[in-house]
Amino acid sequence: MRVASSIILAVAMLLVAVPSQAQTYDPRYPVCMKVVGGGFHGGGERIDCSFTSLPQCQATASGRAAWCEINPYGSLAQAPASAPGKTYRRARRAYQ
C-alpha cells in the first residue's frame, strides 16, 4: 500500500512540475507566424500571433525557419458579418 501511494504521489508531483502551455493564438490578430527551432529550451515550435496582414507576416518570416497562416481564432477566420442596417428577407415557402 505504501509503495502504491508513493508512486501515485511521485507521478502527481511530476505532472505538477511539468510546464504547461497557455493559449498560443491571440484572437486580436488575424495572422500568425509559426517559428521552428527558436526558444529558450533549445528547440521546438512557437506561434507568434501579432500580425495584421499576411504580407507583414511573410516579410518577418523571410529568411527564417517560419511560415505564416491565418489565425483560426482571429477575425479573418470568422464568417463575415452583414453590413449594419441591412436586412435580408428569406423567400417564403409555399406548403401545399
Q: Alpha-carbon distance 44 to 76, whole Å? A: 27
pLDDT tens sequence across 12-71: 666 655 555 555 788 889 999 998 875 566 667 888 999 999 999 999 999 988 999 998
How far is Cα 19 from Cα 14, in angstroms, rounded to an integer? 10
Q: What is the pLDDT of residue 62?
A: 93
Question: Could you tell me the pTM of the whole model?
Answer: 0.52
What is the sign, positive or negative, of the torsion defined by CA atoms of 21, 25, 28, 32?
Answer: positive
